[in-house]
Amino acid sequence: MDEGFVSIIDEKELQEGKMKLVRVEGKTVLLIRQAGKIYAIDDRCPHMGCKFSGGTLDGNVVICPCHDWRFNLETGEYENSPSYVLTMYPFKVEAGKIWVKIEEDDL
Ligand code: FES
C-alpha cells in the first residue's frame, strides 16, 4: 500500500530556490525547495485565496503576492498573526519521486 500518497513529479524537477505548481486530485499543490528542504503547500493563501505561486520566497518564508503577508514554511503561520495558517500537505521523497498525500478533509 502507498498509504494514500500520490507520485507527482520527479524529485530532480524541483530545483533549489524554486516553486513548482502541480494539480493533485483536484487540489493545486505548490512544491517549494529552499535551502535543500522541500515543502508542499496549498497554493491558496488563507487570507483571501490569492495564489502563492505568483509570490516570492525569502529564506523559509513564502510571501503572498496580493497583500505581502509572510508565511513561515516551517510552521505554516503568518508572521504577524499566527492564527492564519497555510495548508501544508504530507509528502515524502521515494524512488526519485515526490509523493503527496491529500487528506479527505482537504477535498
Ligand atoms: S490574499 Fe494572501 S495576503 Fe491577502
Question: What pTM was computed for the model?
Answer: 0.93
Please tell me the distance from the alpha carbon of residue 26 to that of residue 70, in angstroms, as a whole number: 26
- Give the C-alpha distances (Å, rounded to integers) separating 6 from 17, 40, 89, 101: 23, 13, 12, 6
β-strand pairing of 27-34 with 18-24: antiparallel
| pLDDT one-digit tens code per residue, 6-65 | 999 999 999 999 999 999 988 999 999 999 999 999 999 999 999 999 999 999 999 999
Q: How far is the CA of 4 from the centre of ligand 1 (A)?
A: 30
Query: Which atom number of ligand 1 is nearest to the Cα of residue 55?
Result: 2
| pLDDT one-digit tens code per residue, 88-102 | 999 999 999 999 999
**Rounded to the nearest 5 degrees, what angle is found at the Cα of 34, between the Cα atoms of 99 and 15?**
65
Query: Which atom number of ligand 1 is nearest to the Cα of residue 50?
Result: 1
Which residue, judged by its Cα, is nearest atom 1 of ligand 1?
48
Helix (H), strand (E) at residue 58: strand 56-58
